Amino acid sequence: MNWVRQTLLRNWLVRAISTTIGQKLVMGATGLLLCGFLVAHLAGNLLIFQGTEHYNRYAKMLHENELLPVAEAGLLVLFVLHILLSFTTASANTAARPIGYYGKHSKLSGGTFVHAHNYMFLTGVLVLGFTLLHLSDMRFAHLNLRLKYDSTLDPAAHALHVLHDPISAPVYLLGSLVLGFHVSHGFQSAFKSLGLNHPKYTPFLSKLSILFGIAIGLGFASMPFWYYFAGH
């Protein structure tokens, strides 16, 4: 195995990506792209509030696009990279401090507010679980990996069915909020990891990031809330 490693490390890209900085660069880049996906995904999903027919039309359009498999494959790569690296960096980070402190206190100003950055791995794992559940609910259970869109399908009805489920609805609500919490740090952190940190832009990006997290979290959570908790 070691010679495989050595051979791979002869490549400049592998070598760069295998450093801690390289890993964070890739995590930042994949994270940002995934944020882009979240925006598109949320925009599509929110159509359900306009009526089931709008939602179905959007689903149809999406699934009739022949490039969808390419996009999905790309998304899969982004997810896998982001997740794999989160596990490798997290385990390296744990190993970097074998003996912990008796008690550790932040010196950051801003006091006791819960910092999302301290829970990135935990929230990331929760988001991963939620994503798998969501995929099995929406992508595999209903669409069955069919490439051709079948006019008999009614994705909106299926979505509403899931959102009205007494177990799924709270899970979707919480999952959405955790996702929002995760990206509220991830969005701005990605810029820093990619090398953008400047007194001119960073304060703005930090605020934008929190707003982004809130928008994503509340945006996705609005659906289970509206259909299950508000009883529509």
Partner 1 sequence: MSAMLDLTLKIWRQDGPKTRGAFKTYHLKGISTEMSFLEMLDILNEQLIQLGEEPVAFDHDCREGICGMCSLMINGQAHGPETKTTTCQLHMRRFHNHDTIVIEPWRARAFPVIRDLVVDRTAFDRIQAVGGFVSINVGNAPDGNSVPVPKVNADKALDAAVCIGCGACVAACKNASATLFVGAKVSQFALLPQGQAERVQRVQKMVAQMDKEGFGSCTNTSECEAACPAGISVEMISRMNLEFLKATVVGAT
Sign of CA dihedral 209, 225, 178, 104: positive
Q: Minimum Å distance from CB 34 to partner 1?
A: 17
What does the block give as tokens for 26?
């890739």
Interface size with partner 1, residues (CB under 8 A): 45
Give the sign of the dihedral formed by CA 62, CA 65, CA 66, CA 71: negative
Q: Which is nearer to partner 1, 16 or 40 (CB)?
A: 16
Q: How open is the CA angle 22-135-63, to the nearest 5 degrees?
A: 100
Between CA 31 and CA 23 the distance in angstroms is 12
Binding mask 192-211 for partner 1 (x = CB under 8 A): xxxxxxxx--x---------
For the CA atoms of the chain, what is the radius of gyration? 20
CA distance 30 to 187: 11
Interface pick for partner 1 out of 188, 212, 220, 221 (rule CB under 8 A): 188
* Site map 73..112 versus partner 1, x via CB under 8 A: ----------------x--xx-xxxxxxxxxxxxxxx---
| Number of Cβ atoms within 10 Å of the Cβ of 189 | 22
- Contact status: 114 vs partner 1 (CB under 8 A): no
Nearest CB to partner 1, comparing residues 128 and 174: 128
Among residues 6 and 109, whose Cβ is nearest to partner 1? 109
The residue among 115 and 232 lying less far from partner 1, judged by its C-beta, is 115
Beta carbon nearer to partner 1, 79 or 119: 119
Alpha-carbon span 21 to 118, nearest angstrom: 19
Contact by Cβ (8 Å): 23, 88: yes
Contact set with partner 1 (CB under 8 A): 11-13, 16, 19-25, 89, 92-93, 95-109, 115, 117-118, 120, 185, 188-189, 192-199, 202
